Amino acid sequence: MLARKLTTFFLDILEVVVFAIAIFLFTYLLVMQPHKIKGDSMQPNFPDGEYLLTDKITYKVRKPQRGEVIVFIAPGTDDEEFIKRIIGLPGEKVKVEGGRVYLNGKILDESYLSRSVITSSGSFLKEGQEILVSDDNYLVFGDSRSASSDSRIWGYVNLKKITGKAWLIYWPPQSAGLVEKVIYSFNYGSAH
């Protein structure tokens, strides 16, 4: 009798554990995934060592939008994931000139960057050279432009390589909260 009760008790515990593992794997593989910010490329908005959850469903329903912080498999790496901000969308003309980013001939006002941030060009996106972002591709930059390896150097990120959208910061506790949505404005003036 005691052996039967113990067996039932352990089977009940095993059932709960298996169910919990199944929920965890479903969530981790299909819905959300934790990521740790490594390095200074997204400073000061996403400091080194900060943890966030990425939403893996949004881009199955709609296309990525400018300003969203994404996780993706970086070109030329062995499946290494990077975290950057979307700047250029498919069909847009992008240029870096005089430390500023131009989209379709207008200066992009990036209010989330410090006024002292200068956007330099790179081996892919050369100073003053306008490029057209091709279909299903995106240009992504780090928020700390001088510390970021991004699209200015290695080019486009294809939609198929995007693995998630930054959704929630959960560590450290004083930074916890939803990732803020960015609103852009455009200036028609020249860069000085």
Tell me, what's the pLDDT at 34? Answer: 87
**Which amino acid, 97?**
E
Tell me, what's the pLDDT at 22? Answer: 72
What's the average model confidence in pLDDT over 141-167?
A: 93
Rounded Cα gap, residues 20 and 33, in angstroms: 16
Is the pLDDT at 134 greater than 50? The verdict is: yes
Is the pLDDT at 192 greater than 50? The verdict is: no
Class of domain 35-187: mainly beta
What's the average model confidence in pLDDT over 110-132?
A: 89
CA 26 centroid distance within chain: 21
Q: Are 179 and 166 in contact (CB under 8 A)?
A: yes
- Strands lying side by side in the sheet with 185-187: 131-132, 93-97, 100-103, 106-109, 185-187
Tell me: cis bond preceding 44? Omega within 30 of 0 counts. Answer: yes
pTM for this model (two decimals): 0.81
Q: Which residues are catalytic?
A: 41, 84
CA 85 vs CA 49, 55, 186, 190: distances in Å: 18, 15, 17, 24
Tell me, what's the pLDDT at 191? Answer: 45
What's the average model confidence in pLDDT over 159-169?
A: 93
- Percent of residues, the chain, with pLDDT higher than 70: 92
pLDDT in tens, 69-103: 999 998 877 788 999 999 999 999 999 999 999 99
Domain coordinates of the chain in residue numbers? 35-187
CA 34 centroid distance within chain: 12
Q: Which of 48-52, 117-121, 184-188 has the lowest mean pLDDT?
A: 184-188
Mean pLDDT (the chain) is 87
Tell me, what's the pLDDT at 165? Answer: 95
